[in-house]
Amino acid sequence: MVNKMNDVLYIVVPCYNEEEVLPETAKRLKSKTEALIASGTVSDKSRIMFVNDGSKDSTWEIIENLHKENRLFTGVNLSRNRGHQNALLAGLDEASHHADVIISMDADLQDDINAVDGMLKEYYDGCDIVYGVRSDRKNDSFFKKFTAEIFYRLMNFLGAETVFNHADYRLMSKRAVTALAQFKEVNLFLRGLVPLIGFKSAFVSYERKERFAGKSKYPFKKMIAFALEGITSFSTKPIRFITLLGALIFIVSIFMLIYFIIRRLIGAAVIGWASVICSVWAIGGLIMLSLGVIGEYIGKIYLETKGRPKFIIEKVLDDEED
């Protein structure tokens, strides 16, 4: 076992409109962190860092009050809403200045807090990255299970090295977070980026629970957008498929041309206005779809070339604050 017990742990929790669940989340994380400190597993300098992603409710006020009541809690307030992935990255970046090891998790209490123990064990055994992986999806609806299965399989088919049934509940050493900072792309998909780091990793399974309170911040529309973000950020295969589709349609059109010429030579009537109209609409639709896919990639290139900041931190609550 690597001798690095009692390292400083930061638990980073991105928050967006989480006023309903945040007090309970803070209570449970406080209990877990204090137990880890008491057992000597982590340093007494360990902290729980909530990252407010431009919430419109009282989330930031709750974080400030938690910090005033107990310095075990710290907070990062982004200047505006930048999305879950950017908020998480902001927390990882800020925490890396103070921590030896960082665990990220969502605020909704669906991730089993007790899995932290297993993650830290793997870390002390020499792993730089430990993925929290769901053991099952029995609490999900059939539609949720089906779409999740398609998402992970499609991502891996298109070349993104995602971990099946893993979201953003993971442990990363300071070394791993520093390596992650070397990826400069604006369009973030951390589930695909983290495996690219390549350091020694492990998996800890846990049972995901129902959301404690409030509504999910990932409705179907956002899930689709997130999937498209991941696919277009990590693979050029969709563009290759367009090329192959165009070649296939061209070959089919050659065969159809030969077929109609032969029918004309043998004196048979050339019929099929309906098929012609259907073909025109189908090809027109494929062209528009292809332009849309290409446009998605061009849009990403446009955003990357601007080099805009992924996030802007308005305020950080820390131990030195008066």
Tens-digit pLDDT profile for residues 168-183: 899 999 999 999 999 8
Q: Which residues pair with 202 in a beta bridge?
A: 130
Residue 1 has what pLDDT?
A: 41
Q: What is the dihedral of CA 19, 309, 230, 114, to 10 degrees?
A: -40
pTM higher than 0.85, yes or no? no
**Which residue type does 207 have?**
E
Mean pLDDT score across all residues of the chain? 82
Count of C-beta atoms within a 10 Å radius of residue 28: 14
Question: Do 5 and 46 contact (CB within 8 A), yes or no?
Answer: no
- Name the amino acid, one letter, at 244: L
Rounded (to 5) percent helix, strand, coil in the chain: 50, 15, 35
The residue-averaged pLDDT of 188-200 equals 86
Q: Give the pLDDT of residue 322.
A: 44
Gap between the Cα atoms of 122 and 10, Å rounded: 16
CA–CA distances in Å: residue 254 to residues 247, 257, 259, 261: 11, 5, 9, 11
**Which whole number is the average pLDDT over 7-18?**
95
**Mean pLDDT value across residues 254-261:** 74
**Winning range, highest mean pLDDT, from 146-150, 202-206, 238-242, 258-262:** 202-206
Provide mean pLDDT across the span 293-299.
79
Classify residue 7 by its DSSP letter.
B
For the cut 90, the answer to whether the pLDDT of residue 259 exceeds it is: no
**Residue 173 pairs with which residues in a beta bridge?**
101
Highest mean pLDDT of the ranges 109-118, 220-229, 294-303: 109-118
pLDDT in tens, 59-97: 999 999 999 999 999 999 999 998 888 999 999 999 999
Q: Among candidates 113, 84, 118, 116, which has minimal Cα distance to 102?
A: 116
CA distance 260 to 263: 5
